[in-house]
């Protein structure tokens, strides 16, 4: 049955309808189809885009606080054996790394040095590292830390009346409601109750005191969603939480467990030795080799001393030129000041050397005097002097001894040796070492030091060959 017959059969006699049924339908153009598809796609984009925007996490903005007191310190106090404020070291020295929420401040104390110590109750949200599998998600544990921020009025109520607070004058004033105090060490972000953190922990105190120690140094991160804050000044980090976790986990995979094996103190000693060797390979202290040098020392007892003052130079026939230290180093081929500075640091001496070094030329330009000397001393009479010259023996006196035995000092990492003539007066603790290295004659003189430091200084000198 054709279209018009069907319409008549059902009683639809409208001519317009019949005509439309008989008229062939126009083909839709490709442009028309694309326009309709584009409109549909735009609608879907608006729908899903709106859903995405509705579900997108709003960026957290950390509130501005009025900080009236800063406690703690920006850099570690005292001389550090090693630099432990890096991802590798804090990972080795930590037994747990967790994501956590700080639920409560349990206790605040002031140490004997006037620093704050906080005890927090934290809830474990996730574990990235857990040596010994001590923690489960949802556990609440106590953690001690030197990092904290709280209202000054609350802090004063907790500690102002204690003997140590009064001794150090801590929180002895009146504070406004909006005032806060901050305690931060290692430039770490201060911990605040109610916030979430990526936190490094050490369980060294767990057995005896029932608390973990926050052990991340400056690697303590406060996070809100993916927004992370770090540092003493609570600055927004450039990285997201996920990116920081990825970095932390990469160091976890490289963790050797060396600190677990030998203990934290021994690990830090090893690390310091490694870092010193990498930073200053030319003055790295190899204790075993120094001990071997010390055992080989043969001291010739001083029986007499003869003056050997420098020759007088007629100013009409000579000129004096002053070299700076850089030129002197190029001339000698050895950075004596740096070696003596490192030695002085080890033995508590103060460098006494200058920055200008006079040398004497003849009128024809020939160099005739080039002796340079470097000294370090303390107020107790301990003294070290290193003199050097390429032209002659660099000293103003000659020591004589009944015997003149030489000590052979091996040059580390080579098959070469240096012959050293040693003179000494044990009663006066005066020791002198004369030797030649790379065409330069040296004299080391020590006063009020034993032969062990002399052996160490000899090692440091020949190590730089």
Whether the model clears a pTM of 0.85, i.e. scores above it, the answer is: no
* Per-residue pLDDT, 137: 97
The Cα 311–Cα 45 span in angstroms is: 95
Write down the residue that tokens 């200058």 correspond to.
Answer: 354
Q: Which pair of tokens denotes residue 190?
A: 């201060």
* Per-residue pLDDT, 321: 94
Residues 6+ apart with CB under 8 A from 25: none
Higher pLDDT: 114 or 282? It is: 114
* Per-residue pLDDT, 145: 96
Confirm if 170 and 160 have CB atoms less than 8 A apart. yes
Q: Which residues pair with 142 in a beta bridge?
A: 121
The Cα 345–Cα 337 span in angstroms is: 12
* Per-residue pLDDT, 396: 77
Phi, psi of 271 (to 5 degrees): -65, -45
What is the enclosing helix (H) or strand (E) of 170?
Answer: none
Higher pLDDT: 419 or 403? It is: 419
Q: What pLDDT band is residue 24 in, cutting at 50, 70 and 90?
A: very low
Least confident of 60-69, 174-183, 275-284, 409-418: 275-284
What do you get for the CA distance between the two ends of the chain, in Å? 111
pLDDT at residue 79 greater than cutoff 80:
no
Q: Which residues pair with 229 in a beta bridge?
A: 222, 236
Residues 6+ apart with CB under 8 A from 204: 95, 213, 264
Tell me whether strands 66-73 and 179-185 are parallel, antiparallel or unpaired: parallel
Helix (H, G, I), strand (E, B) or coil at 71: strand
* Per-residue pLDDT, 56: 56
pLDDT at residue 22 greater than cutoff 50:
no
* Average pLDDT value for residue range 216-245: 95
* Per-residue pLDDT, 465: 55
* Per-residue pLDDT, 140: 97
Least confident of 249-253, 272-276, 316-320, 421-425: 272-276
pLDDT at residue 435 greater than cutoff 90:
yes
Calculate what percentage of the chain has a pLDDT beyond 70: 83
* Average pLDDT value for residue range 287-302: 85
Quickly count helices (H) and strands (E) in the chain.
14, 23
* Average pLDDT value for residue range 321-331: 93
Q: What pLDDT band is residue 82 in, cutting at 50, 70 and 90?
A: confident
Up-side HSE of residue 306: CA atoms within 13 Å toward CB? 4
* Per-residue pLDDT, 74: 61
Q: What pLDDT band is residue 231 in, cutting at 50, 70 and 90?
A: very high
Higher pLDDT: 62 or 249? It is: 249
* Per-residue pLDDT, 129: 97
Q: What is the CA radius of gyration of the chain?
A: 39
Q: Helices 451-463 and 336-347 meet at what angle, rounded to 10?
A: 150
State the average pLDDT for the chain: 84
pLDDT per position as a tens digit, 49-62: 554 444 556 677 88
Confirm if 41 and 49 have CB atoms less than 8 A apart. no
SS (H, E, C) 352-365: CCCCEEEEEEECCC
Could you tell me the sign of the dihedral formed by the alpha carbons of 312, 315, 319, 321, in that order? Answer: positive
Confirm if 216 and 200 have CB atoms less than 8 A apart. yes
Residue 154: count of CB within 10 angstroms of its CB: 14
* Per-residue pLDDT, 341: 87
* Average pLDDT value for residue range 418-430: 90
Residues 6+ apart with CB under 8 A from 13: 7
Helix (H, G, I), strand (E, B) or coil at 414: coil
């Amino acid at each position: 049955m054709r279209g018009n017959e069907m319409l008549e059969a059902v009683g639809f006699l409208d001519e317009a309808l019949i005509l439309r049924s008989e008229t062939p339908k126009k083909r839709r153009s490709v442009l028309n189809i694309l326009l309709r598809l584009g409109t549909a796609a735009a609608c879907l984009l608006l729908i899903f885009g709106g859903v995405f925007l509705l579900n997108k996490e709003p960026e957290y903005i950390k509130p501005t606080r009025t900080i009236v007191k800063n406690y703690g310190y920006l850099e570690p106090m005292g001389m550090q054996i090693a630099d432990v404020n890096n991802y590798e070291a804090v990972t080795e020295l930590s037994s747990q790394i967790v994501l956590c929420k700080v639920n409560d401040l349990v206790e605040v104390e002031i140490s004997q040095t006037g620093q704050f110590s906080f005890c927090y109750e934290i809830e474990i949200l996730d574990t990235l590292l857990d040596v010994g599998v001590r923690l489960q998600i949802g556990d609440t544990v106590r953690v001690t830390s030197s990092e904290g921020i709280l209202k000054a009025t609350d802090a004063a109520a907790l500690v102002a009346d204690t003997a140590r607070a009064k001794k150090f004058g801590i929180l002895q004033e009146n504070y406004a409601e909006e005032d806060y105090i901050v305690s931060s060490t290692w430039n770490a972000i201060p911990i605040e109750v109610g916030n979430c953190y990526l936190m490094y922990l050490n369980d060294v105190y767990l057995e005896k005191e029932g608390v973990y120690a926050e052990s991340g140094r400056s690697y303590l991160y406060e996070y809100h969603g993916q927004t992370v804050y770090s540092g003493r000044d609570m600055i927004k980090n450039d990285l997201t939480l996920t990116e920081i976790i990825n970095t932390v986990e990469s160091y976890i995979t490289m963790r050797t467990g060396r600190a677990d094996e030998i203990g934290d103190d021994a690990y830090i000693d090893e690390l310091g030795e490694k870092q010193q060797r990498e930073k200053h390979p030319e003055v790295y202290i190899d204790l075993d080799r120094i001990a071997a040098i010390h055992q080989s020392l043969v001291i010739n007892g001083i029986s007499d001393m003869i003056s050997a003052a420098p020759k007088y130079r007629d100013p009409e026939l000579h000129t004096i030129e002053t070299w700076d230290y850089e030129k002197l180093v190029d001339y000698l081929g050895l950075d004596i000041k740096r070696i003596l500075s490192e030695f002085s640091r080890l033995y508590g001496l103060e460098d006494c050397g200058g920055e200008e070094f006079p040398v004497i030329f003849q009128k024809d330009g020939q160099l005739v005097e080039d002796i340079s000397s470097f000294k370090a001393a303390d107020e107790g009479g301990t003294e070290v002097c290193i003199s050097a010259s390429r032209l002659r023996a660099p000293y103003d006196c000659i020591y004589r001894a009944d015997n003149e035995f030489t000590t052979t000092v091996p040059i580390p990492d080579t098959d070469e040796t240096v012959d050293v003539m040693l003179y000494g007066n044990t009663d006066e603790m005066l020791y002198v070492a004369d030797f030649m290295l790379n065409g330069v004659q040296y004299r080391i003189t020590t006063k009020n030091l034993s032969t062990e430091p002399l052996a160490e200084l000899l090692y440091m000198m020949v190590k730089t060959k």
